[in-house]
Structure 1
Amino acid sequence: MTNGNVPQKAPGLWQKVLDRVKTWSRTQSPWLIHFNSGSCNGCDIEILATLTPRYDAERFGVQLHGSPRHADILICTGPVTRQARERLLRTYEQMPNPKFVVAVGACAITGGVFAGCYNVIGHIDEVIPVDVYVPGCPPRPEAIIDALVILLQKLAAGPKIEEAAS
């Protein structure tokens, strides 16, 4: 069957090719967005150290980005405070699928020293789903790079069925 001079292919073929190109491009240059939900900034300093030439996270194509609409990976530090909860949810919802979340540091994972404070709701996975946890107070840059490598492998695997449907 033809449409003018262009032969018609199976309708799903081009979509599969496009999905493979998207997956490949995401694995070659994942964009990060950082969200501090109320920490002491120790983990934030280690994230920035990870992006310096000494640790060279950019060899994996990783780039820190300012907009959640273009980010693939959300890196969260600190416990979730009452003020940060809505902004964290809004940032997560603005990210395109497939999206991944990394909880960096003891405060993001368990609430840390801030657990039980009057203004702290809890840890990150009480608000949004977390894919990878990086323990430590503060965690070493090597541990953060290990988490990024794990997420690159998840990105290479492609979107899950339920993510592809949304």
Structure 2
Amino acid sequence: DKAYNWSRKSSMWPLLFGLACCAIEMIATAASRYDLSRFGMEVMRPSPRQSDLMIVSGTVTKKMVPAIVRIYNQMAEPRYVLSMGACATGGGPFKEGYNVVSGIDKYLPVDVYVPGCPPTPEALIFGLMKLHEKVERQSIAKVAWYRKESSGFVPVPILGPDIFDPRQIQLIRENTLGEGAASRSSGGGEVRVMPELLSDDVKQNLEAIRTRYLAKMKQPA
């Protein structure tokens, strides 16, 4: 494990894509002044097939979430996600925006959070060092991707009037149609429900829809 983890942390290739102003600091970190080549990370790959680290750098909009999840699914295992900045972590100053997701961790597993608006290159390097420490603690015999226990595939969120995780479809049906209609429309298949992945704004929208529906059902025909 020691030799394997040393080789992985010393040749971790980030994916080159930016979402907002944090990307400028990410690019500055990769320049000669901060010299990421000291850590074997000087090669930022333009393809997810050749990358094992996704740095989510900037504001995550609802239209961008499906693309981010698709890119993540195209990355080879072992893969890691670093949330860079206040926007990627919790929405930042745009948290109340109608088109902004309050944290990428609602849709992807995040390994390291780097706070800041935007974080400095030194802060990003510190976050990368924390990721290296996490890699050093891993055992190849215990990770799921090595034991073939899980494909690691993350369902791509569906973008409609609002964005929601397809794993929440049963919960959404129950809140909009009622439990009886939900059981009839599910087709008898098992749906894995993970309510903790629903963002607060989606929960509020679902509750408002449910309230309007119940009020309508109580009205005389």
TM beyond 0.5:
yes
Query: Where does residue 57 of structure 1 map in the other structure?
Result: 36
Q: Deviations over 1:33-58 (max 9, x none)?
A: 14434x3x2x1111111111111111
Query: Where does residue 69 of structure 2 map in the other structure?
Result: 89
Output the TM-score relative to the length of structure 1.
Answer: 0.78
Identity %: 43
Alpha-carbon distance between aligned partners in 1 of 2:131 and 2:89, rounded to the nearest angstrom: 17
| Structure 1 counterpart SS, 2:96 | coil
Deviation at 1:20, TM superposition (A): 7.2
**Aligned partners of 2:23 and 2:58 also within 8 Å:** no
Deviation at 1:27, TM superposition (A): 2.1
Q: Deviations over 1:105-145 (max 9, x none)?
A: 11111101111211113211111011100001111111101
Higher relative contact order (CA 8 A, sep 6+): 1
| Higher-Rg member (1/2) | 2
Gaps of 5+ in 1: 1-18
Gaps of 5+ in 2: 149-221
Q: Which structure has more strand as a fraction of its residues?
A: 1
Please give the residue correspondences for 1:13-162 in structure 2 after superposition, counting only pairs within 5 Å: 23-37=5-19, 39=20, 41=21, 43-62=22-41, 63-158=43-138, 159=140, 160-162=142-144
**Number of residues of Structure 1 aligned to a counterpart in Structure 2:** 145
Alpha-carbon distance between aligned partners in 2 of 1:157 and 1:67, rounded to the nearest angstrom: 27
Deviation at 1:24, TM superposition (A): 4.2
Give RMSD over aligned pairs. Answer: 2.0
